[in-house]
Amino acid sequence: MTWKEAQAFCRANQADLATVDSMEDHVRLLESINRTDVSVWLGLTKSKTKRWMWSEGIGTVTATRWRSTKFADDSYGVEHYTLHTKLMSWRAAQTFCRQHYTDLASETTEAQHVNVYRSGQHKYVWIGLFRDSWTWSDQSTGSFRNWHKGMPDDAGGRQNCARIATAFKNQWDDVSCANKYPFVCNNIQLNEDTCGGKRLIRFHLP
């Protein structure tokens, strides 16, 4: 189906096209598909508005302390920050942190900002803040992204929907919404399986 057709099917039968809020969600989705020969639609589509978000997947930025200079850090644990002095692009630093730690550092409180600043030893360093125009079909605000290197590239100027691409080691790729792929729907659990209000996802591959 096209992305629009897949979205309509999911909304009529499940809840919406799948939303991926973390690497754990991404792995669970791949496990539910249990196939290595198909690329599938995600619920991610491009909007006209760009927003600042955190790489870790904790959503959009509601308030921050902007400075005239670029400040950043490059690795994050549970309230623990580690400085790496090797020079990298933002995407390379993000990949490194996800492989060896959790993600690039997020700063959602003044205390976190101070800790990251001290960990960065007052240097110019990357943090996990990025500007993004992609939104989820179910209107959730999760900011986790798992793009393949060099993506999204909007080749041809009409690549406004996202898929999991088997050719790219199951990372994400932007393609035309008119392309036809299998797709994954999510299902909101409202019973005893719901843990602390966290949404659990059931995946459906037509």
Q: pLDDT digit string (tens) for 83-133? A: 888 888 888 998 898 888 888 888 767 777 777 777 777 677 788 888 888
Domains and CATH numbers, the chain: 3-51+134-186 (3.10.100.10), 56-127 (no CATH)
Better pLDDT: 77 or 135: 135
Per-residue confidence band for 24, with pLDDT thresholds at 50, 70 and 90:
confident
pLDDT of residue 56: 76
Instruction: Read off the tokens for 85.
Output: 């002095």
CA distances from 61 to 52, 66, 94, 106 (A): 6, 12, 18, 10
Q: What is the DSSP string of 154-172?
A: -GGG---EEEEEGGGTTEE
**Long-range contacts for 82-86 (Cβ within 8 Å, ≥24 apart)?**
82/119, 83/119, 83/120, 83/121, 83/123, 83/125, 85/123
Q: What does pLDDT average to over the chain?
A: 78
pLDDT of residue 68: 31
pLDDT of residue 194 exceeding 50, the answer is: no
81 burial (CB, 10 Å; 0-12 / 13-18 / 19+) is: buried
How many angstroms separate the CA atoms of 48 and 44, rounded?
13
pLDDT value at 157 more than 70: yes
